[in-house]
Amino acid sequence: MRSTWRTPDPPLLRDVAAVAAGAAVSGASFGAISTSAGLEWWVPVVMSLLVFAGGSQFMAVGVVAAGGGPVAAVLAGLVLNARHLPFGLAVGHVLGDRLSHKLLGSHLLIDESTAFALANRHDPERARAAFWACGAALFGAWNAAVLVGAFVGRTIGDPDAFGLDAAFPAALLALLLPAFEDRVTRNAALLGAAVALAATPVLPPGVPVLLALVGLLAAARREVGA
């Protein structure tokens, strides 16, 4: 691992720092939203340390804040995090052969660290350095910001007054936008959104999100039929 930390060059570190700064803003928003929604300050902090997946964390807190149960919140987060399975297949080789490296690397496997590794896939050493540098930087920035945001959220009371409530849908939309370039994915997302929207007035919070999976089923049937 020591050789990995000698590899990152200044341009790579600059790019990682910029991404980490953006993650800190989202992390502070998550902490503030969580505590202002009624959660104890330590809940978002522990969740960030153990889960470390911004999109699913926003999803889980959003479901609970809307009145949904913990089961619905966990299932919604797992559905969103299912995208990490192909991520692991794509960049698993950069984690090394040691079990400790694989376990730690799996925890740092997020959208950004995967993107940095794939952007340097033609240079295995640089890809490895990019993955670990990005993962470690974002882990530190995100968790520190969540802690700060959690205490801020206890004092401001209503995050709507500062527009922090918009961080949840904005974060999810940012995750989805690149995938909308594919027609099949776009149609599946639109169908799932329509189903969830129609079910929202009649079903408990969190359940409509799970019903949105019908979009994936429809897309899978079309792919098989093709």
User: Are residues 43 and 148 part of one domain?
Assistant: yes
Q: Do residues 89 and 29 share a domain?
A: yes
| 93 lies in the same domain as 174 | yes
* Residue-wise pLDDT tens digits, 22-67: 888 889 888 988 888 788 999 999 999 999 988 888 888 888 877 7
Lowest mean pLDDT among 86-90, 165-169, 173-177: 165-169
What is the total count of domains within the chain? Answer: 2
- Confirm if 29 and 163 have CB atoms less than 8 A apart: no
Chain segment 103-162, per-residue pLDDT in tens: 999 999 998 898 888 888 888 888 899 999 999 999 999 999 999 999 888 876 665 555
Look over the chain and give the mean of its residue pLDDT values, rounded to a whole number.
80
Same domain, 50 and 34: yes
Residues 92 and 187 grouped into a single domain: no
Residue 135's pLDDT is 94
Residues 196 and 91 in one domain: no
Q: Same domain for 87 and 110?
A: yes
For residue 209, give Cα distances in angstroms to 72, 110, 167.
Answer: 9, 22, 18
Query: What's the rounded Cα separation, in Å, for the pair 147 and 28?
Result: 7
- Residue 150 tokens, joined: 């959690």
Residues 160 and 197 in one domain: no
Angstrom distance (rounded) from CA 149 to CA 88: 30
Same domain, 215 and 117: no
Q: Which residues of 76-100 are buried (b: 16+ CB within 10 A; e: fewer)?
A: bbebbbeebeebeeebeebbbeeee
Region for residue 95 given its phi and psi (left: phi exceeds 0; alpha: psi -120 to 50; beta: otherwise): alpha
Q: Based on the domain organization, do 198 and 102 belong to the same domain?
A: no
Q: Is 203 helix (H, G, I), strand (E, B) or coil?
A: coil
Query: Residue 161's pLDDT is what?
Result: 58
Whether residues 19 and 54 share a domain: the answer is: yes
What's the domain range around 201? 182-226
Q: Are residues 123 and 28 in the same domain?
A: yes
